[in-house]
Amino acid sequence: MGYCQSCGQEIGDDWIFCRHCGVQIEHSPPSPVGPSSAARSDGPTAQRSEGRRPLRIGMVIGAIVVVVASGTGISILALSQRNNRAVPLAGPSTARPTDSPAASPTPSISGSFAALFADQGSGVIRVEAISCGQSDIGTGFLIRPDLVATVNHVVADPVTIALSSGNDTTTGVVIGSDPSQDLALVRADRPFSGYVFALSSLPPQVGDAVAVMGYPENLPLTFTEGTVSGLDRSITVDGGALNGLVQTDTAVNPGSSGGPLIDISGRVMGLIDAKQTHAEGIGYAIEADVAASTFSSWEQSGIPQPPASCTSPIGPPGAGDVPTTPSDPAVAAMAETLAAYHNAINAGDYLTAWEQFTPAEQQRVTVDHLASADATSFGFEVRIHQVTRLGTEEAVVYVTFTSIQAPGYGPNGETCDYWTLDYTMRLIGGRWLIDHAGPHDGSTHTPC
């Protein structure tokens, strides 16, 4: 038994982190002086620094915190004073040595997490919200087949929400939100078949192995490992305080917000919410047992919230990008035009979208008509499947994409559709422009 060099409390010989204050322990031969000497030592302490970022910047007080919402690098920033206390968050690690003979290797933590990723990844949901202000790509996870737990800043004031797991996409509606806790619960329009997570009610310990699943930086589903590095942290983001958070050194980035922080038994210990931008490996998650009681209340009595209303809703930037190979410059130029069109629609910039049309199509479709028809539309997963050249200056491009829109704006009132279109494109003034869009093989769309 020894003493923490930071807080002076008794610690175990095998502790990696102090379970009282969360500071990493530097083991050395026991001091004959005792705890008072340890309390005065110059051991590791938490660092604070200052910095600036261009979006949603709050009052400069202390260390930088970034809410990790957007998968496209857009960050919500606040600079805040940290006050560290000690409140349990959620479940401890349940890893146990194997009961096999000594000659058999003990399963590694990484191996256990690999199995969890394979089993549970289907229940981690990509959340794309279209809102009247800044929109984000974030993460959620299933707590029921039709209920997605996430954080409020990912789905704040949405016009519509896309929920995706693999190739399965639907829309959802918020049935409960609390900015003070930064929690939200979304009901999917139809159930998912993926893994359903359980929220732990047991406290973690500093040093527990944990992992995060989510969609950082607009990437596909991503898995990172780390440890619990502190308990009951308090931060301020956009002027609002969040308390009782678990601190983790697991890598989290914009797009990770709302993702599950799990232990090696697969229990959710928290919901990823924020990180410090000036330092490596300092992230925060909302307490799982607090979230569980809130979600339970919303599940029983939650009322669908009406969609936000605005003339030019905005979707997450970059979702309309069209991947292509650079082997054919003409196809790359067509992809550039299609990406400019879809990204402009997503951003509510209908003039730029209209400028991707040929003069003939601009005569048929005005900017006002385009704005009216696509006012709430958000297109993503845009793919070119085939290009048929009809000469040097004309081509038919087979394109698929997914769109979501507010009720009443989609075909037959649908909120989510898979589109299969043939775009006729013409080379005019050195640019490939959209001249017409029609059905591919007789079909334009099917509901999600």
Please tell me the predicted confidence (pLDDT) of residue 421.
97
Confidence of residue 35 (pLDDT cuts 50, 70, 90): very low
pLDDT classification of 42: cutoffs 50, 70, 90: very low
* Comparison of pLDDT for 132 and 32, the residue scoring more: 132
What is the Cα–Cα distance from 223 to 251, expressed in whole angstroms?
9
- How high is the pLDDT of residue 307? 85
Phi, psi dihedral angles at 294 (to 5 degrees): -65, -45
**Average pLDDT of span 402-431:** 90
Residue 350 pLDDT more than 50?
yes
- DSSP 8-state symbol, 308: P
Percent of the chain past pLDDT 70, that is, above it, reads: 75
- pLDDT score of 357 more than 50: yes
68-82, 169-183, 243-257, 352-366, range with the lowest pLDDT: 68-82
Give the pLDDT confidence score for residue 412 in this predicted structure: 82
Residue 61: is its pLDDT beyond 60?
no
Kindly give, in sequence order, each residue whose CB lies less than 8 Å from that of residue 189, ignoring residues fewer than 6 positions away: 170, 171, 172, 173, 415, 416
Rounded Cα distance, 267 and 260, in Å: 9
For 376-405, give the secondary structure using H, E and C.
CCEEEEEEEEEEEECCCCEEEEEEEEEEEC
Q: Which pTM value belongs to this model?
A: 0.70
Band (pLDDT 50/70/90 cuts) for residue 67 is low
Least confident of 52-61, 67-76, 281-290, 399-408: 52-61
Per-position DSSP letters for 212-275, written without gaps between them? EEE-GGG-SSEEEEEEEEEEEEEEEETTEEEEEEEEE-S---TT-TT-EEEETT--EEEEEEEE
The per-residue pLDDT for range 164-187, each reduced to its tens digit, is 998 899 999 999 999 999 999 999
